[in-house]
Amino acid sequence: MTDIIKDSNRLFIGNDVPTDYQNPNSNLKVHSVVKPLTEEEVIEVVKYANEHNLVIITRGGNTGVAGSQTPFLGNEIIIDLSLMNKVIELDKETMTLTVEPGITIETVQKYALDHGLMYAPDPASKQSTIGGNVSTNAGGMRAVKYGTTRQSIRSLEIVLMNGSKLVLGSKNIKDSSGYNLKDLFIGSEGTLGIITKVMLKLIPKPLYNVTTLLAFDDEVIATETVINILAKGHIPTALEFFDKESMKYSEKLLNKKFITQKGNAYLLVTVDGNDLNTLNNTLNQIHDISSGAVEKLILTDEEAVDAWVMRDYILYGLYATTKFEMLDEVVPINQFAEIIKYTKTLEKKYDVKVLNFGHSGDGNVHTIMIRDNFTDEAWPAVRQGFLDDLYQEIYRLGGLISAEHGIGVYKQEHFLKNTPKANVDAMRAIKQALDPKNLLNPGKIF
Ligand SMILES: Cc1cc2nc3c(=O)[nH]c(=O)nc-3n(C[C@H](O)[C@H](O)[C@H](O)COP(=O)(O)OP(=O)(O)OC[C@H]3O[C@@H](n4cnc5c(N)ncnc54)[C@H](O)[C@@H]3O)c2cc1C
């Protein structure tokens, strides 16, 4: 490997591997960490791994929450793509931005805005990378109106485990030319290939956005309001739900109070467009629909930024102060209130504190199981019972185990239990065809 990466700041072998690349819950150690600067270096590392039968894990921003970027086997090569972080081309006519995979979402969003354009996907983890976002099909706040990462990808360059390269998709808006291989790699969690270049779709930056905060005493009324808003034909840019308990974690971390202390559950709604009157009318109509709200605030631009930052920090607040497991379930939008209600029945049944926050406009909620009151010995049985019940109900309602985080390792058991065998067999056949030696992130998803 020293022949491929000559710079000692970009290659760490054996005991020289920094600890933050190791699995903190395992004594097994990774083989090495490489930080390529070019696609050619990625190809050479892949060839080396193939020759020596070494497993590869690709890593972007390491913000993944399903365990898919974590080493579990020992002796892996971690390819850290964070140094491949350049903008390659902005094409204003086709409204596309071509980037290297290690660029962060924050940098891409800022770059697009600086050029009067917008990159629509908006995961809360601003230090995650575009390569990671593609590999998990990240969603985030604005998926209600603009879709998940998948809807904003025009083309991908992929290095396969045999060292060959695929160029999938193009600047063309339409494509009915053969199998859609590009979509196969989106959400594949680093198991099929290494993404080395991404062409993103940009959109014109909307001139205005306005935000309202709705507070409810009862979280069931809040969640029922979601479907009422959508059923009236409104398509908000973002429509987030969070309970008061969740917001307390953000308040604690940021050491400041949320804009209101009224109510126990909140909807934060932003609409965007080019006509301010229309947007204000939309918020008025949303207020009329939200008859169960105990407070309806129209936020100034500054208050809106602040409210969204506090929403983004809920998860950071949880990480800073508590032990928990985060879920990522999604249900058809008309079942959103049902699933929130059901999590509360499980809270009582298992005596586990439950919080809920998430992308209610997409039917996607991050249920949080707080495990502070359980010993390490007691927790696995409680967790198992809770998840068995919850996922059974989610699938009964027509939902899925993961909306935007992926399956990784932590959701594998229930994914396999609830997914038709024929579907999993087809996934395994594709994996076998593209990675016959099972060297690329094995043991993830299935
Ligand atoms: C505070 C916080 C908030 C979050 N908010 C959201 C949210 O709002 N919406 C959301 O969807 N997710 C969210 N996440 C989850 C996470 O940020 C996303 O899953 C993100 O897409 C991961 O990107 P990453 O660059 O950190 O990838 P990593 O964590 O490094 O890797 C994730 C997966 O992608 C693969 N991968 C990474 N780069 C490549 C590549 N170039 N080629 C092939 N495979 C690759 C890895 O092998 C792994 O399987 C949040 C996480 C945190 C910690």
Say yes or no: CB of residue 68 within 6 Å of ligand 1: yes
Cβ(71) to ligand 1 under 6 A?
Answer: no
Which element (helix H / strand E) includes 325?
A: strand 324-326
**Residue 106 C-alpha to ligand 1 middle, in angstroms?**
13
Instruction: Identify the H or E element spanning 267.
Output: strand 265-273
Distance 57 CA to ligand 1 centre (A): 13
DSSP state letter for 9: G
Q: Give φ, ψ of 414 to 5 degrees.
A: -75, -25
Report CA(296)–ligand 1 centroid distance (Å).
34
Tokens of 333: 């939008």
Q: CA-to-CA distance for 211 and 222, rounded, in angstroms?
A: 17
Domains of the chain and any CATH numbers: 8-80 (3.30.43.10), 87-204 (3.30.465.10), 206-319 (3.30.70.2190), 322-420 (3.30.70.2740)
d(CA 130, CA 122): 11
Determine whether the shortest distance from the Cβ of 82 to ligand 1 is under 6 A.
no
Give the residue whose CA is nearest to atom 3 of ligand 1. 125
At residue 78, the pLDDT reads 98
SS3 264: coil
Ligand 1 mutation target, pool 86, 107, 128, 365, most atoms within 8 A of CB:
128
Rounded mean pLDDT of 235-262?
Answer: 97
The predicted structure's pLDDT at residue 261: 96
Which residue spans within 160-202 are E strands per DSSP? 165-169, 194-201
Q: How far is CA 343 from CA 31, 327, 348, in A?
A: 42, 11, 9
- Which is the closest atom of ligand 1 to the Cα of 138? 11
On whether the CB atoms of residues 146 and 203 are closer than 8 A, the answer is: yes
Give which of 393, 209, 403, 227 is closest to 308, Cα–Cα: 209
> What letter would DSSP give residue 140?
B
Which of 21, 57, 65 to mutate for ligand 1's pocket (most ligand atoms within 8 Å of CB)? 65
Q: What digits encode the pLDDT tens for the residues 284-336?
A: 999 999 999 999 999 999 999 999 999 999 999 999 999 999 999 999 999 99
| Cα 129 to ligand 1 centre (Å) | 7
Mutate to test the pocket of ligand 1, among 68, 69, 330 (most ligand atoms within 8 A of CB): 69
> If residue 413 lies in a helix (H) or strand (E), which one and from where to where?
helix 412-418
Q: Report the alpha-carbon distance of residue 246 to residue 205 in Å, rounded.
A: 31
Please give the pLDDT value at position 55.
98
Q: Is 65 in the pocket of ligand 1 (CB under 6 A)?
A: yes
pLDDT of residue 312: 92
What's the pLDDT score for residue 182? Answer: 98
Q: What is the whole-number distance in angstroms between the Cα of residue 125 and the centre of ligand 1? A: 8
pLDDT digits over 182-216, tens only? 999 999 999 999 999 999 999 999 999 999 999 99
Give me the percent of the chain exceeding a pLDDT of 70: 100
Q: Is the CB of 334 under 6 A from ligand 1?
A: no
Decide whether any atom of ligand 1 lies within 6 Å of the 136 Cβ: yes
Our answer on whether the CB atom of 286 is closer than 6 Å to any ligand 1 atom is no
Q: Is the CB of 67 under 6 A from ligand 1?
A: no
Residue with token string 């308990």: 245
Q: What's the whole-model pTM score?
A: 0.96
Write b or e for each residue in 259-298: b if 16 or more Cβ atoms lie within 10 A of its Cβ, otherwise e. Answer: bbeebebbbbbbbbeeeeeebeebbeebbebbeebeebbe
> How many CA atoms, within 13 angstroms, populate the side-chain half-sphere of residue 420?
3
Please say whether the beta carbons of 435 and 370 come within 8 A: no
Which pLDDT band holds residue 141 (cuts at 50, 70, 90)?
Answer: very high
Provide the 3-class DSSP secondary structure of residue 39.
Answer: helix
Nearest CA to ligand 1 atom 36: 132
Which helix (H) or strand (E) segment is 155 a member of?
A: strand 153-159
Within 8 A by CB and 6+ apart from 282, the residues are 234, 271
Which atom of ligand 1 has the smallest separation from the CA of 133? 21
Residues β-bridged to residue 308: none
| Beta carbon of 124 within 6 Å of any ligand 1 atom | yes
What secondary structure does DSSP assign to 338-404, as a single string?
A: HHHHHHHHHHHHHT-EEEEEEEGGGTEEEEEEE-TTS-TTTHHHHHHHHHHHHHHHHHHTT-BSBSS
Helix locations, 256-356, DSSP H: 276-289, 301-321, 336-350
Average pLDDT over residues 128-137: 98
CA of 40 to the centre of ligand 1 (A): 24
Position 267 confidence tier, pLDDT thresholds 50, 70, 90: very high
**For range 145-167, the mean pLDDT:** 97
**Which residue's CA lies nearest to atom 50 of ligand 1?**
125
The backbone region for 255, taken as left when phi is positive above 0, alpha when psi lies in -120 to 50, beta otherwise, is: left
Give the per-residue pLDDT at 440: 98
User: How big is the chain, counted in residues?
Assistant: 446
User: Is the Cβ–Cβ distance between 275 and 324 less than 8 Å?
Assistant: no
- Evaluate: CB of 186 within 6 angstroms of ligand 1: no
Dump pLDDT digits (tens) for 39-63: 999 999 999 999 999 999 999 999 9
Q: Are 2 and 47 in contact (CB under 8 A)?
A: no
Is the minimum distance from the CB of 140 to ligand 1 under 6 angstroms?
yes
3-state secondary structure of 165: strand
Q: And the tokens for 29? A: 């150690």
Coil vs helix vs strand at 270: strand
> Which amino acid residue places its CA nearest to atom 44 of ligand 1?
190
Q: Find the farthest-apart pair of alpha carbons in the chain and give their distance in angstroms, rounded.
A: 68
Query: With a 6 A CB cut-off, is 125 part of the ligand 1 pocket?
Result: yes
Q: What is the pLDDT of residue 145?
A: 97
Average pLDDT rounded to a whole number, residues 103-107: 98
139 within ligand 1 shell (Cβ under 6 A):
yes
CB neighbour list of residue 156: distance below 8 Å, 6 or more residues apart: 134, 166, 167, 168, 169, 182, 185, 186, 195, 197, 198, 199
Q: How far away, in angstroms, is 97 Cα from ligand 1 center? A: 20
